[in-house]
Amino acid sequence: STIPESLKHFQLERVLNEVTHTIALLGQLQMEGGKLSSAIIRIEKTALSASSVLDVLSNLKDVQLIEHTDIYSWLFAWLNQSQDRPEVKINVVCPATEVHVRKYSAQQTILVRETPEIFERIVKPYIAAFPPTRIQWVYNILSGKSEVDKILYRDTSEDYGYVILPDMKWDLITVSSLYLVAIVQSKDIRCLRDLRRRHLGMLRGIRREASRIAKEKWGLSDGSIRFFVHYQPSYYHFHVHIVNANYIGTAGSTVGQAHLLDDLISMLELDPEDGPSIFERLTLTYGLGDQHGLYESMRAAQTELWESAS
Ligand code: M7G
């Protein structure tokens, strides 16, 4: 790939977002053939691990005292260049679409309520209109075209198979920020609203196999993993986020957007054998950023909700 080389000549257009440890930039990257392409670059400082932190302290390039008082001191430090761990992790989206630019931009969030009626009228058509190219990366993983050597587990059941692999958010090393993703084979489950009793075996399987892998590979015992599902997700092909229970740094774990897999399983277990599922009856409340494709229509629907309630 030419991405690593082209990064050195990145042309910045604007900063999309800046939060602790992470910055998202929009600009131009030169791709194969010299063509300039719109690109998003997200740079994140990697986590420190307990095993490397002593090395870090003994190899600091420079240290400067900022202030001290009583028993407290705070300092700036420069890490030694020749560390075995990378200091930043870079994610590149190129060519970046308008949807990506919106997703990576700083946003004002409002909370909205999605009744089953609003789901049918607004959200379902929105999901159906999403071009399949948006989840090409999912199909590439499922069909064995990409990230082949990263797959940790594959369940090959015909209807309810799935794969488990490292999430692109993870640096593949730091266990304290472990981040895996389970992606189901079926194209029929677009989101949490599509879950039914018949999916219970698959959901329990994801929980069981990911726990086993986390134990075998990284020594994480039962209860050390948080499984959750996003609503709204960025990608409408059902997947489960699998993260270290002690890692609570990401916006993705915000209340409202993240639903514990355990809770979803429990709700399905309480579902009647027939009749509409709990996920066809629930009203779901979640935050939507003002750059989200659903923002305007959902905000309008809220006003209707309030008016009809008064
Ligand atoms: P989501 O809840 O749909 O959206 O989760 P979010 O990105 O707003 O959380 C999709 C998950 O898939 C995220 O955790 C992404 O980091 C991850 N992901 C996205 N892409 C494009 C890839 C990819 O190509 N490979 C892998 N391994 N993970 C990805």
Q: What is the pLDDT of residue 121?
A: 97
Give the nearest ligand 1 atom to 165 CA: 27
Closest CA to 44 of 94, 90, 7: 90
| Cβ-count burial 156-191 (b if 16+ within 10 Å, e if not) | eeeebbbbbbbbebbbeebbebbbbbbbbbbeebbb
Of 58, 89, 120, the one marking the end of a domain is 89
> What is the average pLDDT score of the chain?
90
Kindly state whether residue 102 falls inside one of the protein's structural domains: no
Could you tell me if residue 95 is inside a domain? no
In the reported structure, the alpha carbon of residue 167 is separated from the centroid of ligand 1 by a whole-number distance in angstroms of 6
Q: Are residues 81 and 141 in the same domain?
A: no
239 is catalytic: yes
Ligand 1 atom 9: residue of nearest CA: 252
CATH number at residue 42: 3.30.200.40
Total domains present in the chain = 2
Nearest atom within ligand 1 for CA of residue 166: 27
190 neighbors 65 (Cβ within 8 angstroms)? no
Q: Has residue 115 been placed in a domain?
A: yes
Residue 137 CB less than 6 A away from ligand 1: yes
Same structural domain for residues 111 and 33? no
Among 60-69, 183-192, 249-258, whose mean pLDDT is lowest?
249-258
pLDDT at 252: 65
Mean pLDDT of 76-98: 81
Where does the pLDDT of residue 32 fall: very low under 50, low under 70, confident under 90, or very high at 90 and above? confident
Contacts of 211 (CB under 8 A, 6+ apart): 222, 225
Q: Are 29 and 157 within one domain?
A: no
Q: Do 83 and 118 reside in the same domain of the chain?
A: no
Is residue 48 pLDDT above 80, yes or no?
no
Domain stops at, among 89, 117, 142:
89
* Cβ(259) – ligand 1 distance below 6 Å: no
Residue 154 lies in a domain: yes
C-beta 42 within 6 A of ligand 1? no
Q: Could you tell me if 232 and 147 lie in one domain?
A: yes
- When pLDDT is cut at 50, 70 and 90, the band that residue 215 belongs to is very high
Q: Is the pLDDT of residue 285 over 80?
A: yes
Closest approach atom of ligand 1 to CA 241? 14
pTM of the model: 0.86
pLDDT, position 298: 96
Residue 98: inside a domain: no
Q: Is the CB of 187 under 6 A from ligand 1?
A: no
- Domain region containing 178: 107-309
For residues 216 and 83, state if they share a domain.
no
Give residue 307 CA to ligand 1 midpoint distance, Å. 37
Give yes or no: residues 73 and 186 share one domain.
Answer: no
